[in-house]
């Protein structure tokens, strides 16, 4: 449970007063006064909520040792005590050796060159290991990679993680986009028939992937039959640019 009244990233409260309260901070940038702030906030919490726990522990997660402040005075006794656990993600081991939960944390701190390989490994582990709610873990992996590779679309990241076309169609991302586009398209197409509503769905999906469509290409799609529209909806995830869409239209019987 995170206490939003405090600036500490996470305050995990025990279910009964005999337990231990945990303070957790993720610190990826060096702050020369970090420990001053961290312990001040901890002791303020201890003063206000002493009746809710019997002991306390603190954890700070760093990407590497270079992100930690260099001088601990006058808090060196606390920093070096058993009260504080400092975790350096780059020292935990390789992603294939770590428990999946720790490997996911480590993924956030990997260099850009190493992230695609590690992300694909974790995605594969998510598929084959008996983990609860694997779709949530896959969404987390995708989000972490998106933050690192801002120029990639979510779909491109999913493909980088090894998703096939059929797997992509089962992801929450695709289903949400398709449902959103279908609802909008069918609402607009109710007065014009189901076929035109499906056409609007396909156009919306194409715009989400490639941006504005050339007028000639859009007109060609609007001229497709119901059967052709269904086939295009199945094929569009295989396209990587608009030239492939045009080529498909030229080949379509």
Written as tens digits, the pLDDT of the chain (253 aa) is 344 445 778 899 999 899 999 999 999 888 888 999 999 999 999 998 988 999 999 999 999 999 999 888 888 999 999 999 999 998 988 888 888 888 888 888 888 888 888 888 888 888 888 888 888 888 888 888 888 887 777 777 777 777 665 655 666 666 666 666 556 555 554 444 455 667 777 887 788 778 888 888 888 888 888 788 878 877 877 788 888 888 888 887 6
Tally of structural domains, the chain: 3
Whether 3 contacts 46, CB under 8 Å: no
Quick one: pLDDT at residue 191? 44
Please tell me the distance from the alpha carbon of residue 199 to that of residue 190, in angstroms, as a whole number: 12
**Rounded to the nearest 5 degrees, what angle is found at the Cα of 178, between the Cα atoms of 173 and 181?**
125
Using alpha carbons only, how large is the chain's radius of gyration in Å? 25
Last residue of a domain, one of 132, 163, 194: 163
Same domain, yes or no: 15 and 57? yes
Q: Are residues 127 and 202 in the same domain?
A: no
Question: 81, 47 in Cβ contact below 8 A?
Answer: no
pLDDT of residue 82: 93
One domain, residues 87 and 104: no
Judging by DSSP bridges, how do beta strands 55-62 and 20-26 pair with one another? parallel
User: Of 91, 115, 149, which residue sits at a domain end?
Assistant: 91
Domain housing 28: 1-91
Residue 35: predicted pLDDT: 92
Question: Are 7 and 83 contained in the same domain?
Answer: yes
Please check whether residues 107 and 118 belong to one and the same domain.
yes
Residue that finishes a domain, picked among 35, 61, 91: 91
Q: Give the integer Cα–Cα distance in Å for 216 and 213.
A: 8
pTM of the model: 0.58
Please tell me the predicted confidence (pLDDT) of residue 142: 84
**C-alpha distances out from residue 202 to 26, 88, 107, 167, Å:** 42, 47, 35, 19
Q: Tokens at residue 127, please?
A: 């598929």
Q: What is the side-by-side strand order in the sheet with 55-62?
A: 10-12, 20-26, 55-62, 84-88
* List of residues 6+ apart from 154 with CB closer than 8 A: 142, 146, 173
Residue 54's pLDDT is: 93
How many helices (DSSP H) and strands (DSSP E) are in the chain? Answer: 12, 4
Whole-angstrom distance, CA of residue 196 vs CA of residue 206 = 15
Instruction: Indicate if 191 and 219 belong to the same structural domain.
Output: yes
Distance CA 161, CA 84 (A): 36
One domain, residues 104 and 41: no
| Domain co-membership, 69 together with 123 | no
């Amino acid at each position: 449970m995170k206490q939003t009244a405090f600036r500490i990233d996470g305050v995990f409260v025990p279910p009964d007063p005999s337990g231990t309260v945990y303070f957790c901070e993720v610190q990826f940038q060096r702050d020369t006064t970090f420990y001053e702030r961290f312990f001040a906030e901890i002791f303020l919490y201890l003063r206000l909520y002493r009746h809710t726990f019997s002991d306390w522990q603190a954890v700070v997660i760093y990407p590497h040792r270079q992100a930690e402040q260099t001088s601990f005075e006058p808090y060196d006794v606390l920093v070096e005590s058993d009260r504080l656990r400092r975790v350096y993600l780059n020292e935990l081991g390789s992603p294939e050796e770590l428990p999946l939960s720790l490997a996911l944390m480590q993924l956030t701190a990997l260099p850009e060159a190493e992230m695609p390989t590690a992300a694909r490994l974790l995605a594969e582990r998510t598929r084959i290991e008996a983990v609860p709610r694997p779709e949530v873990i896959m969404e987390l992996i995708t989000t972490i990679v998106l933050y690192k590779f801002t120029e990639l679309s979510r779909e491109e990241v999913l493909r980088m993680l090894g998703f096939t076309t059929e797997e992509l169609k089962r992801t929450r991302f695709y289903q949400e986009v398709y449902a959103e586009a279908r609802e909008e398209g069918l609402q607009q197409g109710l007065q014009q028939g189901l076929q035109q509503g499906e056409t609007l769905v396909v156009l919306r999906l194409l715009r989400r992937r490639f941006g504005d469509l050339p007028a000639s290409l859009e007109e060609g799609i609007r001229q497709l039959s119901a059967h052709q529209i269904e086939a295009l909806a199945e094929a569009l995830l295989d396209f990587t640019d608009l030239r492939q869409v045009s080529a498909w239209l030229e080949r379509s019987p």
